[in-house]
Structure 1
Amino acid sequence: MRILHTADWHIGQTLNGWSREHEHRTFLEGLRDLILFERIDALLVAGDVFDGINPSGEAQRLLYGAIADFLRANPRLQIVMTAGNHDPAQRLEAPEAVLAALGVHVIGTLRQGPDGVDMDRHLIALRDSSDTIRAYVLAVPFLRAADLPGLQLGAVGGTEPTVTAAARALHLGMAKAATARAKDLPLLAMGHLTCAGGLESEGAERRILIGGEHAVPPDIFPPALSYVALGHLHRPQSLDGGRVRYSGSPFPLSAAEITYDHGVTLLDLDEGLVPRHISLPRPVAMHRLPERGAAPLADVAAALAALNLSPDMPRNAQSFVYLSILADRPVTQIRAEAEALLDALPLRLADLSIIRPEVAAIPDAPPPSLSETSPEDLFIVAFRQAHGQEPVSAHLAAFRDAMSEV
């Protein structure tokens, strides 16, 4: 029996106003072909299917059209899809009755009753091509504070943080109930959270905060769970010897992810559920120029020319580029020159940063604590980073007016 683990599709994402529908469509078509080629029996999608809580009609059509394609490629395919922190959990569950009839299980929220988690809903049997149950999956969506049993925010005196203790208790209880039903069959789990030790992508993933905590140790997942399929972190990576794994996003969602080897994770039950990373071709190229720091516009222009971009590339398939330019003359002049340069090239601008030399030379430092700064100080720092110059009195006045209405 073969299982494919994927996550963090973020259907509907835009980048600097550019739609990424072409990339998502190409990825989903490739995933369909992979399901057929690798003879996949079950597909696990561990959250952040959509990029936001109000996905467009086109984003939803893209998802459900892809599900139909997967099932045409393999009518016996089982799909288990859980919600992430970006997803509209209840909207994701809305077509549940229809999808369940097709072998598609969509779990947007954690359903609990007086006796605990509803295991009839969250524990799903996985069957091979001969319709024999070979494993079970414990489908757990993104957890909110109300989902964690006995959570008392701000409580002190325990051996570990309260959120960690509550998450540990929840997973232990579910694993015990699942093991009683699964007997000796392998038990997999799904989740959408940050595990301590996981490598995050700067500026790409929202830090999920519950009670001031954003990461839990991977050992909150009991040993009874043979494999834990996680979503949320976009870099493919394994924890706890491979038992706990992030499949990562299917292609870069930000500049921080340009160097990642994006893909999906294949699990073969007959080979002991050892995760195997399958790299995916990148639907659209993404570049950061220069690769580190900032450079004068002339150097950036030379690097752009060296990309040898095809002028015949359709607009929706053109490369994305992040530019970071040193401000060696007035920022408005550099911006105008850069925009004129870009207008003549077959590419799409993801972001343009113009940085003063003295700012670029300052080494990274830890951010100040809230007690050491103020909202206006943070606004000034953000303005400098975005525009490469100091805000004038009009900018400060507009910020103060906005703050007065909060």
Structure 2
Amino acid sequence: MLTLLHTADWHLGAQLQGWPREAEHRKALRALVALAAERRVDAVIVAGDIFDSLNPSAEAQKLLYDTLKELRAALPAATIVLLAGNHDPAGRIEAPRALFDLVNVAGVGTIARKDGEIDAGVHLLPLRGAGGAIEAHLLAAPYPRAADLPILDGASEGSPVVRSVRALYAELIAAARARIGAAPLVVTGHLHVAGGLESEGAERRILVGGEHAVPSDVFPEDIAYVALGHLHRPQSVGRECVRYSGSLFPLSKTEIDYNHGVTIVAIEGAATTIEHVPLPRPTPCLRIPPRGGLARENVEAALAALGLGPATPADDKPFVHLTVAADGPIVGLDAEIDAIAEKFPIRLASLTVERPPRRETEAPAPAALRLSERQPVELFREAFALTHKSEPTSEHMTLFHAAAAEE
């Protein structure tokens, strides 16, 4: 039997509204190494977006190498594979190849070809079980850059980009099958498979021309497992063995409710067993209130109810995403909330203002008119009322007229 640990989307070097995440990454990666050792996995696959930036900091790179060192110490015989994602500098993933070869680590950043054909010597890796026998092979495919996609001749229905991705995977899989026949094959991918649920605002639509989703049948039915990266929610797509492991912990507000972790895969002959294993959340990420908005006068009490002591270490201070309900002017709200937040050992990661929905009895928006037919003061009154759901006061009007007089 062969046991794999599938992980992805570490985003080393990421920040949240300027707050560093390095301490969280260290905790999460230590938990990952401990789990890998506990399960005695035979291989660790990191399916892209290892870094958060194409120019990762020295600290982010050191954290990667520290983690590789800890993995190798915990699992002397395991194969470790790093795939470049759309966030990653492909060249830096491949540059240490000569050193990686010494410690059975593979880094694949681009599609390698030899005389125009897929270089299976780069992309096809044997996966050995606990007894040392080859139990399966890994087809290591990174994020498909524009330069990696084949140019197809002739017109055809559907997205040309999706057709090119399909052709690329067909070529990769054919090169693998030519070497290994019908033996168990694990395939990687860093892309958006149609049907996968995105995290709003967190994941870029990455294929050329905005054509970002490929159908799951790009991966043939005879593939034992498809280890995907890019989407941060753990999920299977199309069929159980085509799977995103998800990120290690919430990287944005929209990911707070995800069950973050890694995927443990067991392959025995033609049978594949898949298990999602949650990882401890290294730092609390809170949405206050959990749903809806909080009256501004109740914000301080809500933060006090968290019960955080003043001696809370800096790295343990929770990230707080605060939503304030307002149906009137919000002038000065940011400064007011910042002053309240400073009283508590938290990291204010975002502040959202929630407005009540427009009632059916409210007057419809005014019909569009030419600007030449409107007076500036009328436009100001309407814009103010639309934004703040109240009429401007005499003080607001005085400031408007003073500003208009300066034009």
TM bracket, shorter-chain basis: 0.7 to 0.9
CA shift, 1:159, in A, is 3.4
Does the Cα contact within 8 Å between 1:227 and 1:273 map onto a contact in 2? yes
Give the direction of change, closer, same or farther, for the CA distance of 1:362–1:216 in structure 2 (3 Å limit): farther
The residue that corresponds to 2:267 in the other structure is 269
Q: CA RMSD in A?
A: 2.2
1:141-290 matched pairs, under 5 angstroms: 141-151=142-152, 157-270=155-268, 272-290=271-289
1:346 and 2:348 equivalent? Answer: no
**What residue is the counterpart of 1:310 in the other structure?**
309
Match of 2:297, SS state, is helix
Aligned partner letter, 1:73: A
Q: Structure 1 residue 306: deviation in Å? A: 2.5
Given residue 121 of structure 1, which amino acid in structure 2 is its aligned partner?
A: V
* Deviation string, structure 1 residues 362-403 (Cα, Å, up to 9, x no partner): 99xxxxxxxxxxxxxxxxxxxx9xxx779x9xxxxxxxxxxx
SS at match of 2:6: strand
Question: TM-score normalised to the size of structure 1?
Answer: 0.85
- Mapped to 1, the partners of 2:158 and 2:328 lie a distance apart of 53
Query: Whole-Å Cα distance in 1 between the matches of residues 40 and 207 of structure 2?
Result: 39
Q: Which amino acid aligns with 2:77?
A: R
Rounded to whole Å, the distance in 2 between the matches of 1:127 and 1:310 is: 49
Secondary structure of the corresponding residue to residue 214 of structure 2:
coil
Name the amino acid aligned to 1:224. Answer: D
Give the letter for the 1:169 counterpart.
A
Q: Secondary structure at the match of 2:111?
A: coil
Map of 2:136 onto structure 1: 135
Matched residue type, 2:161: V
Task: Report the 3-state secondary structure (helix = DSSP H, G, I; strand = E; otherwise coil) of the residue aligned with 1:331.
Answer: coil
Deviation at 1:329, TM superposition (A): 5.5
Aligned twin of 2:58: 57
Moved more, 16-25 or 105-114: 105-114
Cα distance in 2 for residues equivalent to 1:211 and 1:328: 40
CA distance in 1, matches of 2:206, 2:49: 13
Distance, in Å, in 2 between the alignment partners of 1:362 and 1:293 is 17
CA shift at 1:95, angstroms?
1.1
Q: Report the secondary structure of 1:23's partner residue.
A: helix
Give the structure-2-normalised TM-score.
0.84
Q: Is the 8 A contact 1:175 1:224 kept in 2?
A: no
Asked if the contact 2:82–2:108 (Cα under 8 Å) also holds between the matched residues in 1, the reply is yes
Q: Distance in 1 between matches of 2:344 and 2:265?
A: 43
Equivalent pair of 1:171/1:222 in contact (CA under 8 Å):
no
Q: Identity of aligned pairs, percent?
A: 47
Aligned to 2:337, the other structure's residue is in SS state helix
The structural deviation recorded for 1:299 is 3.2
**What's the CA shift for 1:314?**
0.8
Q: Distance in 2 between matches of 1:294 and 1:116?
A: 57
Which structure would you say has the larger Rg?
2
How many angstroms apart in 2 are the aligned matches of 1:140 and 1:345? 46
Once residues 13 and 332 of structure 1 are traced to their aligned partners in structure 2, the CA distance between those partners, rounded to angstroms, is: 31
* Equivalent residue pairs, number: 363
In structure 2, the residue matched to 1:71 is: 72
Q: Please tell me the residue identity of whatever aligns with 2:35.
A: L
Gaps of 5+ in 1: 364-383, 393-406
2:402 is matched with which residue?
none
Residue range with higher mean Cα deviation, 206-215 or 260-269: 206-215
Q: Shift in Å at residue 83 of structure 1?
A: 0.4
Given that 1:227 and 1:243 are in contact with CA atoms closer than 8 Å, whether structure 2 keeps it comes out as yes
Three-state SS of the structure 1 residue aligned to 2:263 is strand
Give 1:46 deviation, angstroms: 0.1
- Aligned residue in 1 for 2:368: none
